[in-house]
Structure 1
Amino acid sequence: MPSIEEILAVERIDDDIYRGGVFPSALRRTFGGQVAGQALISATKTVDPGFGVHSLHGYFLRPGKPDQPAVYLVDRIRDGRSFVTRRVTGVQNGEAIFSMSASFHISGDEGIDHQDLMPRAVDPETLVDRAAEGPNRDLFKEWETFDIRIVPRDQLVTRDGLAAQQRVWFRYRDRLPDDQLLHVCTLAYMSDMTLLGSSKVPHPGVQAQTASLDHAMWFLRPFRTDDWLLYDQTSPSAGGGRALTQGRIFDRAGRMVAAVTQEGLTRTNVPADQISIMKGPR
């Protein structure tokens, strides 16, 4: 597997035009986190280093082809004194596969400060390394550079009134440089992992065609992706072939570092050979 630094190392083709690399994959469609991460790193290359990304909103428009590169076209929507906005379109074969808006905030602003408490969770070291064991070990080999550990149902401290709950510890296995931008883009890549799966928790054994439809993310506090992060996931609603999922990401010290909302396709009335992990509606 390539390193996350290789995945995010987009090539400049021309002003505000970048191209992502092609990497081996067992998936039929390009992993959505790869597209989002490459789009975000492309946007950051057009922004002054004094601004840090604080949010992104993306739509997966078409399934990406993992054996072909994607080209990212960056539009400079606004350059303000405190905020900068960029729009990025990911293209393959002349067709848009991904559209994203990203907002950047100047560093050093001060304001009120509060957050929810981190939910209780067992220590990640006590859980199974899913890349080595378990029924999904072949799938997790797709991301063998990431350590992903799902909290078992019998060890999950649930909250009343929530339809679907799941918690996942994850981290990048190797030490990464002290570059917060790299960690932000790495978390954008990681945030698509396992989140839609939270919608299937109340429906064990149900086979569904799944795909990320849109993805929104807010970066709240500095963090490292090579340290353990807890992904507290819920799915408040599912119906009509779509599921809404939400996630809060905490570091080991209990600081909320990011928040995620995603809607995904969860279609059940499809032939079995069409049920696969895909990014983009069909």
Structure 2
Amino acid sequence: MEKKQNSLFVGTLAKGLRLLRAFDESHVSLSLAELVARTGLEKSAVQRLAYTLHHEGMLERDPGTRRYRPSHAWLELAYAYYWSDPLISRALPKLIEFSRAYGEIVNLAQISGDHIIYSLRLPNQRTQFAASIVGRRLPALGTASGRVMLSTWSDAEVEHALETWPVHSATPKTIIDRDLIALDIARARQEGFAITKAQMMLNEISLAVPVISIDGRADAALQVSVSSLTFDEARLKEEILPALLDTASGIPG
């Protein structure tokens, strides 16, 4: 309501952005009817918005099925983002060095509202397609990266996150008890790293360390994913953790 009452707020633009956000990894191609259902907007508005976005090059339209999907313009926007964020250029060489030395999946995660978003991902030979694409967003409370970033925030911010940020079960082993998540964040504050097991994928162990800014706060983290079939927590701490901490310390936040 506050946005709509602000004279600077452009409602039509907001509706257009809502339509673009209807597309995700599970909805890569949408009909007009599906766009209506996904956005909650009126059919006539969706029709005009989709036509305009197609005309402006933001959406592709299949002439046979009349379904819409994202266009290459989205990649152009991602390209502009990469040039705009100085953390990306500072982190990428460090992640390449780490990946070459250890051969494990390493990601740069950044906080994005109440989610994390993977802005750099260096896969290895075992990586699945979904785990190699940048831009994936996950609920921050369910990830090692989100928890280790929160561990550097103030008590009030952590309390607010624990009360209001979403949690959901991605696997049968996902922890959704907020008290247990709070304990994990407190542990990360003491130890300087966070480890989760089978939270987003079964047979996955995730290790994350914060990328600390000059004020002592982290809005980014380095994260390594390994298979629990080949690694246990002790081996991860011994072989990977020291190098990951060293890599993060070399990236000014």
RCO comparison, higher one (Cα < 8 Å, 6+):
1
Whichever of the two has the greater Rg, that structure is 2
Smaller-chain TM-score range?
under 0.3
TM-score, with structure 2 as normaliser: 0.28
TM-score, with structure 1 as normaliser: 0.26
Answer 1 or 2: which has greater strand percent: 1
Answer 1 or 2: which has greater helix percent: 2
